[in-house]
Structure 1
Amino acid sequence: MPIHNRKDILGRIVGGDIFYATSDDGLPLICLVELVTSTTIMVRTITTQLKFEFDRETGVGEWPASDIRPKAISCRIKSVAPLPIQIHDVFIGLDRKSRLENEMDRIKLNDAEKDALFFYRGHYEANPLPA
C-alpha cells in the first residue's frame, strides 16, 4: 500500500538516496543523503558539495551562514521520487567528480551529465511530496 503522508515518506529516506529541495530564495538543490539519524537527514549537494541538515519529520532544513552567505537560508525537501537508474548513476558520478576533481578540463559536464541536469527538475516537480 502506498504511503501518502509527508512524515512517513521522509522517514523512509536512507543514506545514498538523492532528493530535490529548494531554498527559500528559489535555489534548486540536488541532495545526496550522507547519513540519517532518528531526527535528522544529513546531505551534501551534488554539484556544489554544500553540507546541511534537514529535519526528518518536516523536511525543513537550513543552509548555515558562512563567509560566502552571512545569513542562514531555510530550505525544504520538495520531492524524493526515485530517479531512473541511468540518471541516478550519472548523478553519483557527478557527485564524485564535483568532490574529487581539480583539473578544469575534466570538470566540464559531459553530455550525460547535461541530460541529467536537464531532466531532474521536471521529474521532481511532477512528483512532489505531499504538503
Structure 2
Amino acid sequence: MSVSALAARRNSSHRRWRLSACRKSRSAAARSTWSATASFYDAAVELIRIRGRKNPSKFLNDPISVNPQTSQLLHPPASLPPDPRKMALQARVKADQLAVAHRAQVGQQKAQASVIHQKLRAEAKIE
C-alpha cells in the first residue's frame, strides 16, 4: 500500500472511531442531529468568539442541547419540505379513490332506480 492510502485508511478509521465515541456519549434524542449541524454550530460559535463576543448562545441555538426532564432536543431540526412528486402522487391516488367511490354510489343509485322502475311497471301491468 502507498503512504497516501495508509494515511487515508488511518484517517477514515479515526473518523469512524470519533463518530462512534461521540454517538455513545450523546443521548438518543441528540444522536440524529449530530452530523453537519453540530460542526456548523461549532464553527459559528468559534467565529462569534473571534469577533469578540463572549456569549454565542445569544445569537445561536445549540442543536444538541437536551431538556433534562424530557430528554428531548430543545431545538429540534426543522422538518424538510414535502417532496412535490410524492404530494402529486398522493393527490392522484386520492382522486382515483374518490372517483371509484363516486362510480360505486352512482351504480347503487342506478340499481335502486331500476328496482323502483320495475316495481312501477309491474304495478302498471297488474292494473
TM-score for the superposition, normalised by structure 1: 0.25
**Max Rg structure:** 2
The structure in which a higher percent of residues are strand is 1
Choose between structure 1 and 2 for higher RCO, CA contacts under 8 A separated by at least 6 residues. Answer: 1
